[in-house]
Every structure is written in structure tokens, then in C-alpha cells.
């Protein structure tokens, strides 16, 4: 019996990269690879990169440097770089790091089996094109499921061209997958035991996919897709991320109020509370428009938990602009959020502008994070005494404990000796920790 080849894959960045890594594992499974948790055992190492934050390239080259010793000890090991850094800097990676055998962009990873065969023939392989064919048509059936929750990419790319963002250049233009294929993939996931699906996209609420004639045809927005998914027996929960305020259409807001399977959680990045900075970022919305959007969402679903992204220290940001951001945060109230100090990404319009002094940006980031943490802990404390639904994902570290996610995406540690992954149970929250809740099964 031929021993299976082993693949080690490291994933950087967002949920879309997690999904892409799972699909790469499946693609390489067709070539006889199984995953391993250790580099030492690997016949191939894939680094699936993210290019959003500063020093993404430096992090990649640092990791590649650490792999040099493994490659020297095992010369037949193949090393590949995938994802957005690969897309942006493929030729430079090959030139700078001769130990790299393979470079593949995020729109071309369905070609990994073919590229692997070129490696086995003694060559190297690079593919950072935006192929005309749909990669999803060429990927094998979903198999690499980690538990009762799964990601499903419905939309890729971005047409927004925010001044700070590289996504339009590394992921390409906005493209939506056909609705019938998404429904078929979702049904397949449910048949494998999945109970919660998170719909993914760079601008997921910009989804507009073609519907099959059997499903009524026409152009499907995200709300129509959510409602169709909700009719799948066995699928208990639906989420989506990441959204853009300009794509929150009326029917999607309405779906939050009248579709029980759509969870009461919305990640809606605003980036800044200053109209002047939002204009400089090319966000194409203002703070008042964001406030009105939040009011409409909360009117549809009063218990919804809101999350957002914030960038501080954007070029030209003054103390007054930063005060506007703090004011917006206080006015809205966020249960979970992400905040970053602005980092210039080569090739973006903002990269050409002088940044805010580093010490000032650091202080602003600390202030934003302190306020967001205060809001998060207050909302978590307000959950104590309430009953919530929790989908178990794994056993906890303590005996008789399960860990899962609530409707509002809180991590919950539950006292339940009889529980198992995949159970969806009612839980009474009894305590709030720094980043999670504690509960008892009702």
C-alpha cells in the first residue's frame, strides 16, 4: 500500500482564507495528500497568505526563512505560497526565496493538482492569473469539515476601491457565484452534519448571483439567498460576513427581522467616524448614513449585536476627526469590533500620503481599543441571567464541559456532561469572562 503524502498548511488572515485553505486541502486530496499538523512530517508546506495588514510580506519571508532548515533536512519537501501576497508579489517571492517551489494566487488554487504534477516532474510553478474559468467548477466535493459550522464563499472581489485597501488588486472585481450551486453546496454540507453556515465575501452583501430557472431565475440578492437557504431542512443557523454599509439593501434588513435562522449578529465596518476621513478613504458613505442604517437594522431586529472595523491614524486624521470616531462608537455601542492602526499598502492611493505620527497613532489605537473593550464587556455582562441557544463545537478543557457559539457569536463554555459537538441547546448564562461567557444547560 502506497503511503499517503502529507500536506501542512498555515493560514493567515480572514475567514475567506480559512475557507480557501479548506478547499486547497480538498484539491490536494485528489493528488493523494492528507493533512498533517507538523512541518517535520510534511511532503508539502503551503502558506496561505493575507495582504491586508502592514508587514504581511515580512511575516511571510520570516516564515519562509524558518522553513529553510526543514527543506535542507528534507530536500524533496515542496514549499508553496498561496493567497494575496502570492498574487501581489509572486515573481519577487520566487526571486528572493529560491526554496519556494510553487506560487498560486487566490483565484487560481483550483489548478494546484496540475501545478503539483509540474513540481514532481522537476520544475517550479507559478500562477497568479485571474483565470476566465470559475475555480469552483473545478474543485472537488467538500470534505474537510471541522465541525458543525462551515464557511461558504458566495462572493469574491471588490469594486469599492477604498483608498487603504489592496483587495481589488489581489482578489479582482466583484463576482457572485450562481445561486443554484450555492444551494447545492449548502445541502451537501448539511448532509455531512453541518448545522450553521457562514456566507463569505469580500463584500458579501453585494452578492447578486444568477438564479436557475427551476428556482425562479433572475438576479438573486443576499436576502433571497438567505431565505432559500433557510428552507433547507437541518440547517439551523445562517450568518454572513463581511458587509459594506452601501450594500445593506432593504430586503436584507427585513430578513434580519423575519427570518429566524438568520442570526442576530451583524459585522458592518465603518472604519472612521469622521466624514472628512471617510471621504479621504473613498468609503462613499458618511457617519449620518451609517447611523440611519444602524437605526433601521435595530428596528428590524432589536436584539442584534453589532460589530465593526476601525482604522485610526489614517493620513490627515486630526484630533477632531479622531474625536468623531470615539463619538460614533459611543453612540452606536458595539458588542465586538476590530481596530487597527493605519498601515500603508503599496499600490493603494493612501500609500502616497504622509501618515500620522506613530506615537499619536499608537495612543489613538489604545483609546479606541479601551472604549470598544468597555462596550464588549458591558454587553457580555448584560447576558448574565439570560437564556441563549448555543451550538456545541467541541469539548472544553474541563471534564463535563462543552464549548460553542451563541446566537450572538459569543463563545460560551457550558457545563454539560452529556453534550457532544453538533448539539444545539438552550443555555442559561451564569458568568462573563474577558472574552467568553459561562453557562449551564437548561
Instruction: Determine the straight-line distance between the first and last CA of the chain, rounded to whole angstroms.
Output: 50
User: Alpha carbon 115 to chain centroid distance?
Assistant: 26
Question: Do 195 and 270 have their domain in common?
Answer: yes
Number of domains observed in the structure of the chain: 3
The domain that holds 9 is classified in CATH as: 3.40.50.12160
Rounded Cα gap, residues 242 and 269, in angstroms: 8
In a domain, 138, yes or no: no
What is the C-alpha to C-alpha distance for residues 127 and 111, in angstroms, rounded to an integer?
A: 8
pLDDT at 2 > cutoff 60: no
Q: What percent of the chain has pLDDT over 70?
A: 97
pLDDT at 1: 45
Query: Last residue of some domain: 58, 92, 127?
Result: 127
Do 228 and 306 fall within a single domain?
A: yes
Flag whether 14 is marked binding.
Answer: yes
SS (H, E, C) 219-239: EEEHHHHHHHHHCCCCCCEEE
Q: Is residue 134 part of a domain?
A: no
Same domain for 365 and 416? Answer: no
231 is in an annotated binding site: no
407: pLDDT strictly greater than 60: yes
Average pLDDT on 241-256 reads 97
For the cut 70, the answer to whether the pLDDT of residue 53 exceeds it is no
In a domain, 33, yes or no: yes
133, part of any domain: no
Same domain, 346 and 405: no
State which residues form the domain around 194.
144-381
Q: Residue 139 domain-assigned? A: no
Averaged pLDDT for residues 146-164: 92
Residue 136 lies in a domain: no
**pLDDT confidence of residue 144:** 54
116 is in an annotated binding site: no
Q: Say if residue 76 is in the same domain as residue 223.
A: no
Work out the angle at residue 23's Cα, subtended by the Cα atoms of residues 21 and 25, and round it to the nearest 5 degrees.
Answer: 70
167 is in an annotated binding site: no
Residue 147 is predicted with a pLDDT of: 85
The winner for highest mean pLDDT among 62-66, 116-120, 329-333 is: 329-333
Q: What's this model's pTM, rounded to 2 decimal places?
A: 0.87
**Mean pLDDT, rounded, for 42-50:** 94
* ω into 231 cis (within 30 of 0): no
Res 9: pLDDT: 95
- Span 137-149, mean pLDDT? 76
Q: Are residues 358 and 424 in the same domain?
A: no
| pLDDT tens-place string over residues 72-117 | 999 999 999 998 889 888 899 999 999 999 999 888 888 999 999 9
Kindly tell me if the per-residue pLDDT of 215 is higher than 60: yes
235 in Cβ contact with 391 (< 8 Å): no
- Are 85 and 205 within one domain? no
Average of per-residue pLDDT across 226-255: 97
Residue 422 labeled ligand binder: no
Nearest to 430 by CA among 417, 418, 416: 416
Q: Are residues 155 and 20 in the same domain?
A: no
Q: What is the mean pLDDT of residues 149-155?
A: 95
* pLDDT tens-digit series, residues 381-398: 999 999 999 999 999 989
To the question of whether residue 240 is assigned a binding role by annotation, the answer is: no
**Average pLDDT over all residues of the chain:** 93
pLDDT for 133 beyond 70: no
Amino acid at each position: 500500500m502506497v503511503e499517503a503524502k502529507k500536506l501542512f498548511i498555515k493560514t493567515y488572515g480572514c475567514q475567506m482564507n480559512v475557507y480557501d485553505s479548506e478547499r486547497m486541502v480538498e484539491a490536494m486530496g485528489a493528488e493523494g495528500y492528507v493533512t498533517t499538523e507538523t512541518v517535520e512530517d510534511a511532503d508539502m508546506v503551503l502558506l496561505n497568505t493575507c495582504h491586508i495588514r502592514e508587514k504581511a510580506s515580512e511575516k511571510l519571508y520570516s516564515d519562509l526563512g524558518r522553513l529553510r532548515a526543514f527543506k535542507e533536512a528534507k530536500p524533496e519537501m515542496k514549499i508553496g505560497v498561496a493567497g494575496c501576497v502570492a498574487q501581489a508579489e509572486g515573481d519577487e517571492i520566487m526571486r528572493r526565496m529560491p526554496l519556494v517551489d510553487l506560487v498560486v494566487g487566490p483565484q487560481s488554487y483550483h489548478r494546484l493538482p496540475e501545478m503539483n504534477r509540474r513540481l514532481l516532474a522537476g520544475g517550479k510553478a507559478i500562477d497568479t492569473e485571474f483565470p476566465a474559468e470559475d475555480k469552483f467548477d473545478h474543485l472537488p466535493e467538500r470534505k474537510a469539515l471541522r465541525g458543525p459550522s462551515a464557511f461558504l464563499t458566495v462572493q469574491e472581489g471588490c469594486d469599492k476601491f477604498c483608498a487603504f485597501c489592496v483587495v481589488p488588486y489581489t482578489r479582482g472585481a466583484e463576482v457572485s457565484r450562481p445561486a443554484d450551486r450555492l444551494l447545492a453546496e449548502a445541502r451537501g454540507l448539511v448532509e455531512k452534519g453541518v448545522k450553521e453556515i457562514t456566507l463569505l465575501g469580500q463584500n458579501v452583501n453585494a452578492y447578486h448571483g444568477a438564479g436557475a430557472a427551476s428556482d425562479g431565475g433572475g438576479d438573486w440578492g443576499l436576502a433571497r439567498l438567505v431565505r432559500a437557504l433557510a428552507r433547507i431542512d437541518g440547517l439551523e443557523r445562517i450568518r454572513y460576513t463581511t458587509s459594506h454599509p452601501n450594500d445593506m439593501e432593504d430586503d436584507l434588513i427585513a430578513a434580519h427581522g423575519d427570518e429566524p435562522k438568520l442570526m442576530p449578529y451583524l459585522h458592518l465596518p465603518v472604519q472612521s467616524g469622521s466624514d472628512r476621513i471617510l471621504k479621504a478613504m473613498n468609503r462613499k458613505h458618511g457617519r449620518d448614513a451609517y447611523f440611519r442604517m444602524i437605526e433601521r437594522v435595530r428596528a428590524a431586529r432589536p436584539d442584534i449585536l453589532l460589530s465593526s472595523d476601525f482604522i485610526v491614524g489614517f493620513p490627515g486624521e486630526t484630533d477632531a476627526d479622531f474625536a468623531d470616531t470615539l463619538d460614533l462608537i459611543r453612540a452606536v455601542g458595539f458588542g465586538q469590533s476590530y481596530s487597527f492602526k493605519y498601515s500603508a499598502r503599496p499600490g493603494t492611493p493612501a500609500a502616497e500620503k504622509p501618515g500620522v505620527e506613530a506615537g499619536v497613532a499608537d495612543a489613538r489605537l489604545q483609546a479606541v481599543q479601551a472604549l470598544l473593550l468597555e462596550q464588549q464587556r458591558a454587553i457580555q455582562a448584560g447576558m448574565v441571567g439570560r437564556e441563549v441557544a448555543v451550538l456545541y463545537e467541541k469539548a472544553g478543557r474541563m471534564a463535563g464541559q462543552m464549548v460553542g457559539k451563541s446566537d450572538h457569536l459569543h463563545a460560551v463554555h457550558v457545563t454539560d456532561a452529556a453534550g457532544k459537538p453538533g448539539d444545539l441547546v438552550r443555555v442559561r448564562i451564569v458568568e462573563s469572562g474577558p472574552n467568553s461567557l459561562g453557562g449551564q444547560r437548561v
